[in-house]
Amino acid sequence: MKQADITVTRENAGARLDVILSGELGLTRSACQNLIENGLISVNGEIRPKNYKVKEGDRVRADLPEPKTVELAAQDIPLDVVYEDDDIIVINKPKGLVVHPAPGHEDGTLVNALMHHAGESLSGINGELRPGIVHRIDKDTAGLLAVAKNDAAHIRLSEDLKEHKIKRRYLAVVLGRVKEDGTVSRPIGRSRADRKKMAIDGAAAREAVTHYSVVEHLNGYTLLRCELETGRTHQIRVHMASIGHPIAGDPLYGAKNDRSGEDGQLLCAVHLELTHPRTGERMEFDVEPPEYFTRFVLKKRER
């Protein structure tokens, strides 16, 4: 049994107990509700119901059962390997590929493919369900992803990620005409209304910063270059939607009048820059946007 301690901040005061837990622990609300119902959650030493409204300064303790052992299946799923050595693999992930197993996606993931490709040569730091995974990109986002092949590489890359030393640049097509370059600096947490979504100032919100610049104005859209300073779940998607320019084709945060869904979510990670964990060499990787992305841009290009 593992323990997690949470102190409620002023920003999160008034939220439901299950919502706070979901945001802090990275679990679904139903999973958190099960923990509460089984008496594994206490607030200031007392058992509270799932709809208890937390107060600033409340101390929440969670007793978390150890995860069940799960056997990961190695699956022969094609991988676009951009670079590989004894310490790291850089993958160009296609749209539609989930990064690691989760409820509803127990196999057919990037991790299953990596198990086939690299065998046991993957870092174990992120646990048995996420071997080697240092950072993630969404299922429907294509692009570059770094994977650690040993624990030493994983630790170094994770430290660099926290210190903003790993640069990740995306291309995005957003709805509407973005007039000028800018930065969105707004905290992101789990949505209190929909556990599948993230939201500005959501439960257990954490600092999130996205820089964007205009590449080209299109008919009804804008092609942007986005650079992450932080790496919150769905960060670019949430930030761009928050300023009235959601990602084209985004099924979760997109506009109701968006008709670009047939081309998929138009967001791709095209540039990755990191320091090699063993040699200290600064390395840069670039890929072209996927064909469906380029096709949409050409179709909407102003003439």
As a whole number of angstroms, the distance between CA 168 and CA 247 comes to 17
pLDDT value of position 127:
64
pLDDT digits (tens, 9 = 90+) for 192-250: 788 789 999 987 788 999 999 999 999 999 999 999 999 899 999 999 999 999 999 99
Residues 6+ apart with CB under 8 A from 217: 177, 178, 223, 302
Lowest mean pLDDT among 9-18, 59-68, 120-129, 278-287: 120-129
Burial 207-231 (b: 16+ CB within 10 A, else e): ebbbebeeeebbeebbbbbbbbebe
- Residue 100 near residue 141, CB atoms below 8 Å: no
DSSP state letter for 193: S
pLDDT-above-70 percentage for the chain: 95
Q: What is the pLDDT of residue 67?
A: 54
From start to end of 176-261, where are the E strands?
Answer: 182-185, 188-190, 198-200, 203-206, 209-217, 221-228
Whether the per-residue pLDDT at 168 is higher than 90: the answer is yes
Q: 260 or 76: whose pLDDT is higher?
A: 76
85 is annotated as an active-site residue: no
What is the rounded CA–CA span in Å between residue 188 and residue 110?
26
Mean pLDDT of all residues in the chain?
Answer: 90
Q: What DSSP element (H or E) covers 2?
A: strand 2-7
Task: Sort 26 into a burial class: Cβ within 10 Å, 0-12 / 13-18 / 19+.
Answer: exposed
**pLDDT for res 122:** 87
Domains of the chain from N-terminus onward = 2-64 (3.10.290.10), 68-163 (3.30.2350.10), 169-268+295-300 (3.30.2350.10)
pLDDT tens, position by position, 63-112: 887 655 456 788 999 999 999 999 999 999 999 999 987 767 778 999 99
Catalytic residue among 87, 138, 140, 250: 138
Average pLDDT over residues 45-72: 83
**From the centroid of its chain, how far is CA 92?**
16
Helices (H), 42-129: 110-118
pLDDT at 126: 65
Q: What's the CA gap between 51 and 283, in Å, rounded?
A: 48
pLDDT in the model for residue 107:
85
